[in-house]
DNA sequence: ATATTTATAGACTAATTAGTCTATAACCAA
DNA sequence: TTGGTTATAGACTAATTAGTCTATAAATAT
């Protein structure tokens, strides 16, 4: 892990624990085991670091999804796989998932261009449009379907992290939540 | 509007625009038209103000919902009314809705006791449990139903605020999103 | 080998800011 | 009225912190 990655990993941990505000750059540098000057050599400003971290996590998640989308499955199978994968990714990367929410609910979001944000959903849109066209999904705007899909993932995540569940129990809940989502989305 | 309310109203506006971090207490006081000392007289610390504002907004929303829940309607009617009201409240109080997300995605949340948080959903739980028992709603844990409900509201809000919609168009979308939610929630 | 660019270090500073302190003023109770 | 409590004001400070600056070291190119 190079210095840039060390800095980002430490920043993620501290931002999630103490917030953007509660995390001085000096602390990030110290805990990452680099000097203050090194941090500012790689990231022009603190804001730069905050945004770079966001973009890296988003890219990582988008790449995961893209891998699923490109698989040669039925649209309905893709749909399910993406849901299951999204929930599991969130559960297995809580810091990253939390950081995304934190960033999305902060003025930092304005620093990210609309194009960059769109880039991150670009994989989605195509196959959902196809699902709508083929009348596998409800006849609703793609944007609405994606938004409600994400809302469902978010809601389920909140529930699963509100208490401790055994792995099998958790898997069962995820599958049931998927059936509920499918009731929302399926054409008839 | 007394000084406390002035301070909270100004704090809400500034926190939403610039974040907790980006908003000095001195600026809040100045724009609220009160002296620095007055702010700290009413709120022991900045954190105090942040939390008090959160609790007030949550209470306000919970009271709204309680009014709907207490009405002598069928459970299914209540369910719909609560959804429609929640979405409209969010749309008509964007600052407040955004502030709640911002706070929920910040370390400040840890300052709010579990009981206080539960207090805010207490109205919900009863009639949803009833709906489950009477087999009007899916046979799932109340917590899961509430979480997915909130996720649906959140997703729809995201969609509706992602672009400009005419009032009638917006109302139509809300109703269609409600039908989608109902497909998720209804027993059969 | 030498020159140039890139990466790292850490001391330093200028600015910001949460919260304090002291002084009044408004209100209220006896 | 008088005495106490509550509310308001605004100057002040001690601490914090983002970012700079200078000096090297490592890597890369010529």
- By C1' distance from the Cα of B2, the closest nucleotide is D7
Q: What is the pLDDT of residues A132-165, one digit of tens each?
A: 999 999 999 999 999 999 999 999 999 999 999 9
- HEC states along A20-52? CCCCCHHHHHHHHCCCHHHHHHHCCCHHHHHHH
Q: In chain A, list all ranges with CATH 1.10.357.10.
A: 50-185
Whether the CB of B2 is less than 7 Å away from nucleic strand D comes out as yes
Residue B162 with chain A: CB contacts under 8 Å: 143, 147
Integer Cα distance of A167 and A178 in angstroms? 16
Tokens coding B23? 């908003």
Scan for tokens 């939610």, then name that residue.
B181
Q: In chain A, list all ranges with CATH 1.10.10.60.
A: 1-43
Whether the predicted pLDDT of A37 surpasses 80: yes
Closest CA to B126 of B55, B187, B61, B78: B78
B contact set with A (CB within 8 A): 17-22, 98, 101-102, 104-108, 138, 140-141, 143-144, 147-156, 158-159, 162-163, 173, 176-177, 180-181, 183-185
- C-alpha distances (whole Å) from A133 to each of A63, A96, A186, A188 are 25, 34, 12, 14
Q: Is B36 left (phi over 0), alpha (psi -120 to 50) or beta?
A: alpha
Q: Which ranges constitute the DSSP H helices of chain B?
A: 3-18, 25-32, 36-42, 46-70, 75-92, 94-104, 114-119, 122-133, 142-161, 167-185
Q: Which CATH class is domain A1-43?
A: mainly alpha
CATH T-level topology, domain A50-185: Tetracycline Repressor; domain 2 (1.10.357)
pLDDT along chain B (188 residues), means of 10: 91 95 95 96 96 96 93 92 97 98 95 89 86 96 97 98 96 98 95
Tokens coding A123? 């994989």
Closest CA to A83 of A140, A141, A145: A145
Tell me the shortest Cα–Cα distance from A10 to chain B, in angstroms.
17
Tell me the shortest Cα–Cα distance from A41 to chain B, in angstroms.
24
Whether the predicted pLDDT of A63 surpasses 90: yes
Q: In chain B, list all ranges with CATH 1.10.357.10.
A: 47-185
Tally of CB atoms within 10 A around B102: 22
- Given pLDDT bands bounded at 50, 70 and 90, which one contains residue A3? confident
pLDDT attached to residue B184: 96
Give the length of chain B.
188
The CATH number of B47-185 is which of 1.25.40.340, 3.10.450.50, 3.30.420.40, 1.10.357.10? 1.10.357.10
Integer Cα distance of B46 and B25 in angstroms? 7
Whether the CB of A36 is less than 7 Å away from nucleic strand D comes out as yes
Residue B183 with chain A: CB contacts under 8 Å: 183-184
Give the length of chain A.
188
pLDDT attached to residue B154: 98
Specify whether the CB–CB gap between A76 and A34 falls below 8 A.
Answer: no
pLDDT attached to residue A169: 98
Integer Cα distance of A172 and A115 in angstroms? 37
Q: What is the pLDDT of residues A65-74, one digit of tens each?
A: 999 999 988 9
Contact A22 B138 (CB under 8 A): no
Whether the predicted pLDDT of A122 surpasses 80: no
């Amino acid at each position: 892990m190079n210095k840039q990655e060390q800095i980002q990993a430490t920043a993620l941990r501290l931002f999630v624990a103490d917030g953007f505000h509660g995390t001085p750059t000096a602390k990030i540098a110290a805990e990452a085991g680099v000097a203050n000057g090194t941090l500012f050599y790689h990231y022009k400003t603190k804001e730069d670091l905050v945004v770079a971290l966001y973009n890296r996590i988003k890219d990582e998640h988008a790449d995961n999804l893209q891998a699923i989308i490109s698989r040669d499955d039925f649209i309905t199978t893709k749909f399910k796989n993406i849901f299951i994968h999204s929930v599991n990714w969130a559960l297995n990367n809580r810091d990253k998932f939390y950081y995304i929410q934190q960033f999305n609910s902060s003025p930092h979001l304005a620093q990210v261009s609309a194009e960059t944000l769109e880039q991150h959903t670009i994989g989605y849109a195509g196959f959902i449009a196809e699902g709508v066209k083929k009348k596998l999904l409800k006849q609703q705007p793609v944007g609405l379907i994606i938004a409600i899909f994400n809302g469902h993932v978010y809601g389920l995540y909140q529930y699963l992290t509100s208490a401790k569940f055994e792995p099998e129990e958790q898997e069962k809940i995820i599958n049931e939540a998927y059936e509920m989502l499918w009731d929302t989305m399926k054409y008839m």
